[in-house]
C-alpha cells in the first residue's frame, strides 16, 4: 500500500498539542502506511513527542509555524494577519504537494477561509460545503452543509447535493439516495430556495434524488445524503449531540436511583455500553470540506484524542480514494 501523507494542524482546537499530538501518534502506530507532518511550534511539539518512546520518526516530521489562530479569531484577521499560522502552513503543504490532506480542530471560519484562499475550489463549485456522517437507524447518513454557508441559494443547495452524492458513492454507498431537509415531505412545503433546489435536482440525470425528508426521516435512515443550508445543518448537528448526551445522562441517573434500578442497570450495562460506543460523537467526528482542490477535514474543536483520531482516519480514507479527483471527474457531468 502506498504511503499517505497528512498534515496536522497541531495547535488548533480547545486542547491544542497536548491532545492532538498523542492522538496523531496513536494513528501513526495504527497505520503502517501513514506519514504525518505535525505543524506548529516545534519546541512544544517535540517536548510532547519525547514522552512517547518508540515513535517511528521516519514517518513523522515536524514543520515549524510560529503563529496560532485563536478559536474566536475573525476569519479575515486569520487570512490577512497570520501568514505563518499552523493552520495556513498545513494547508500550504497540501497545495505544494508535500501532503495529501490537512486535518485541523481549529477555528472553523478561519479554516474555511484559508482553505478557499490556499487550495481554491473545484471548477463549477461556488462554495465548499462541510459534510459529516451522522448515525441513523439504518447505519449512517451524510449530512451537509454543517455551517460553512449560513445563507444559500438554490444553486448552492444543488451543488451540495451533487458533491454529497459523489462523495457518498466514493465512500462506499451504491446509488446514494439524496434528499433535501424540509419542514414537510409535500412539494408545497418549504421556503423558496428549497423548492427551487428541488426543481433543479429533479432534472439532474444520474442523481438518485428522492425529494424532501423531515428531521425524523434523517434519523430513520430514509436517505443516504441529506442537504440543507449551513445554518440549519449546524443547529441540527449540535442539537443532536446535546440530545444524545442528555439521554445518556438521564439513563444513568435512572439506573442509580434505587437498589432495584441499580440491579437492572447492571444487567443492562453491556447493552448500554455498546449503544454508547455506536452513537458516540467521537466515532463520527470529522467533517469533510467538499469542493476544494485538496482534502481538508475539520475535527470538532472540543474533540478528545479518540475523536481527533476519527478525523485523521476520515482524511486517510479520502486520500486513498483520491476524493477531489473523483469529485472533479463526476461533477462536470452533473453540474448544471
Return the sign of the alpha-carbon dihedral for residues 256, 257, 260, 264: negative
CA distances to 68, 69, 89, 107, 239 from 14, rounded to whole Å, are 12, 12, 19, 10, 20
Angle of helix 305-320 versus helix 17-30 axis, rounded to 10: 50
247 or 156, greater pLDDT: 156
CA distance 74 to 113: 10
CA distances to 142, 226, 278 from 222, rounded to whole Å, are 12, 9, 19
Mean pLDDT of the 261-273 span:
63
Q: Residue 37 belongs to what domain range?
A: 1-125+291-328
Residue 270 has pLDDT above 70, yes or no: no
CA distance 117 to 105: 18
pLDDT above 90 coverage of the chain, percent: 58
Give tens-digit pLDDT for 45-81.
999 999 999 899 999 999 999 999 999 999 999 999 9
What pLDDT is attached to residue 147? Answer: 86
- The answer to whether residues 117 and 135 belong to one domain is no
Assess if residue 335 is contained within a domain. no
Assess if residue 278 is contained within a domain. yes
Mean pLDDT of the 308-330 span:
89
What pLDDT is attached to residue 171? Answer: 80
Mean pLDDT of the 25-47 span:
96
Mean pLDDT of the 100-107 span:
95
Number of domains in the chain: 2
- The answer to whether residues 145 and 53 belong to one domain is no
Assess if residue 333 is contained within a domain. no
What pLDDT is attached to residue 63? Answer: 97
Assess if residue 52 is contained within a domain. yes
Tell me, what DSSP letter sits at residue 297? E
Q: Around Cβ 226, how many Cβ atoms within 10 Å?
A: 28
Whose cell is 462536470? That residue is 332
Whose cell is 448537528? That residue is 237
- Cell numbers representing residue 241 in the block: 449531540
The CATH number covering residue 198 comes to 3.40.718.10
Report pTM.
Answer: 0.87
- The answer to whether residues 161 and 257 belong to one domain is yes
Going by C-alpha positions, the residue among 321, 317, 306, 315 that lies closest to residue 9 is 315
Q: Around Cβ 321, how many Cβ atoms within 10 Å?
A: 15
Cis-peptide into 136, omega within 30 deg: no
The rounded mean pLDDT for the chain is 88
Amino acid at each position: 500500500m502506498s504511503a499517505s501523507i497528512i498534515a496536522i494542524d497541531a495547535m488548533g482546537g480547545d486542547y491544542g498539542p497536548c491532545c492532538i499530538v498523542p492522538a496523531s501518534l496513536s494513528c501513526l502506530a495504527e497505520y503502517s502506511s501513514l506519514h504525518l507532518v505535525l505543524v506548529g511550534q516545534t519546541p512544544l511539539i517535540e517536548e510532547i513527542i519525547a514522552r512517547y518512546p518508540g515513535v517511528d520518526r521516519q514517518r513523522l516530521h515536524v514543520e515549524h509555524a510560529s503563529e496560532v489562530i485563536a478559536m474566536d479569531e475573525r476569519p479575515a484577521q486569520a487570512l490577512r494577519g497570520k501568514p505563518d499560522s499552523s493552520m495556513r502552513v498545513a494547508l500550504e503543504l497540501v497545495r505544494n504537494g508535500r501532503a495529501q490532506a490537512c486535518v485541523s480542530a481549529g477555528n472553523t471560519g478561519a479554516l474555511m477561509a484559508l482553505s478557499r484562499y490556499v487550495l481554491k475550489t473545484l471548477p463549477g463549485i461556488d462554495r465548499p460545503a462541510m459534510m459529516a456522517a451522522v448515525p441513523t437507524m439504518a447505519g449512517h447518513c451524510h449530512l451537509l452543509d454543517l455551517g460553512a454557508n449560513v445563507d444559500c441559494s438554490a444553486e448552492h443547495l444543488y451543488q451540495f447535493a451533487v458533491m454529497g452524492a459523489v462523495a457518498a458513492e466514493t465512500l462506499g454507498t451504491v446509488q446514494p439516495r439524496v434528499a433535501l431537509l424540509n419542514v414537510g415531505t409535500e412539494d408545497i412545503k418549504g421556503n423558496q430556495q428549497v423548492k427551487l433546489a428541488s426543481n433543479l435536482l429533479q432534472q439532474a440525470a444520474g442523481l438518485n434524488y428522492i425529494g424532501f425528508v423531515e428531521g425524523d426521516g434523517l434519523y430513520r435512515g430514509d436517505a443516504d445524503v441529506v442537504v440543507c443550508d449551513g445554518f440549519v445543518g449546524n443547529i441540527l448537528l449540535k442539537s443532536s449531540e446535546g440530545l444524545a448526551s442528555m439521554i445518556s445522562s438521564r439513563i444513568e441517573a435512572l439506573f442509580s436511583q434505587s437498589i432495584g434500578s441499580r440491579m437492572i442497570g447492571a444487567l443492562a450495562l453491556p447493552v448500554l455500553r455498546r449503544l454508547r460506543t455506536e452513537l458516540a460523537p467521537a466515532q463520527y467526528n470529522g467533517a469533510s470540506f467538499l469542493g476544494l482542490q485538496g482534502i481538508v477535514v475539520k475535527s470538532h474543536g472540543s474533540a478528545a484524542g479518540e475523536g481527533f483520531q476519527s478525523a485523521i482516519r476520515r482524511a486517510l480514507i479520502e486520500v486513498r480514494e483520491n476524493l477531489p479527483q473523483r469529485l472533479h471527474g463526476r461533477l462536470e457531468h452533473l453540474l448544471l
